[in-house]
Amino acid sequence: MSKLSKAWTQQVTPRPAIWADVPDEKWTDWRWQLSHRVSELEILETFINLTDEEIEGISAPNRFRLDITPYFASLIDPDDPMCPVRQQVIPKGRELKAFDSMMEDSLAEDRHSPVPGLVHRYPDRVLMLVTTQCASYCRYCTRSRIVGDAAATFSKAEFELQLDYLRRTPQVRDVLLSGGDPLTVSPRILDYLLGELRKIEHIEIIRIGSRVPVFLPQRVTDELCETLAKYHPLWLNIHVNHPKEITPELYQACDKLSRAGVPLGNQSVLLAGVNDSVHIQRELVHQLVQMRVRPYYLYQCDLVEGAGHFRTSVAKGIEIIEGLRGHTSGYAVPQYIIDAPGGGGKIPVAPQYLISQAPGKVVLRNYEGFITTYTEAGDYDPDAIKAWEAKVEKRPEPGQEGVLGLLEGEQLAIKPEAFDEIHKRNAMKHRLNQDESKWQPFHTGENSKNIPLTTAE
Ligand SMILES: *Cc1c(COP(=O)(O)O)cnc(C)c1O
The CATH number of the domain where 254 resides is what?
3.20.20.70
Q: What pLDDT shows up at residue 449?
A: 53
| Contacts with 1 (C-beta within 8 Å, 6 or more apart), sequence order | 9
What is the set of active-site residues? 121-122, 125, 134, 138, 141, 143, 302, 339, 346
| Contacts with 403 (C-beta within 8 Å, 6 or more apart), sequence order | 414
Residue 129 falls inside a structural domain: yes
Contact residues of ligand 1, CB 6 A cut-off: 119, 121-122, 125, 127, 176, 346
CA-proximal residue: ligand 1, atom 12 (nearest): 127
Residue 349 falls inside a structural domain: no
Residue 282 falls inside a structural domain: yes
Evaluate whether 57 touches 50 at the Cβ level (below 8 Å).
no
Residue 28 falls inside a structural domain: yes
**Which residue range is the domain that position 63 belongs to?**
1-342
Domain count, the chain: 1
Residue 373 falls inside a structural domain: no
Residue 243 falls inside a structural domain: yes
Which residue among 122, 236, 239 has the greatest number of ligand 1 atoms within 8 angstroms of its CB, and so is best to mutate?
122
**175 CA → ligand 1 middle, Å:** 9
Q: What pLDDT shows up at residue 441?
A: 61
| Contacts with 292 (C-beta within 8 Å, 6 or more apart), sequence order | 254, 255, 258, 264
CA-proximal residue: ligand 1, atom 5 (nearest): 346
**445 CA → ligand 1 middle, Å:** 32
**338 CA → ligand 1 middle, Å:** 12
Residue 345 CA, closest ligand 1 atom number: 15
Evaluate whether 399 touches 411 at the Cβ level (below 8 Å).
no
Which residue among 346, 347, 349 has the greatest number of ligand 1 atoms within 8 angstroms of its CB, and so is best to mutate?
346
Residue 314 falls inside a structural domain: yes
Residue 162 falls inside a structural domain: yes
Q: What is the full per-residue pLDDT of the chain (457 aa) written as tens digits?
A: 888 888 888 889 999 999 999 999 999 999 999 999 999 999 999 999 999 999 999 999 999 999 999 999 999 999 999 999 999 999 999 999 999 999 999 898 988 899 999 999 999 999 999 999 999 999 999 999 999 998 888 999 999 999 999 999 999 999 999 989 999 999 999 999 999 999 999 999 999 999 999 999 999 999 999 999 999 999 999 999 999 999 999 999 999 999 999 999 999 999 999 999 999 999 999 999 999 999 999 999 999 999 999 999 999 999 999 999 999 999 999 999 999 998 999 999 999 999 999 999 999 999 999 999 999 999 999 999 999 999 998 888 888 999 999 998 888 999 988 888 888 876 666 777 767 666 566 656 555 554 544 444 4
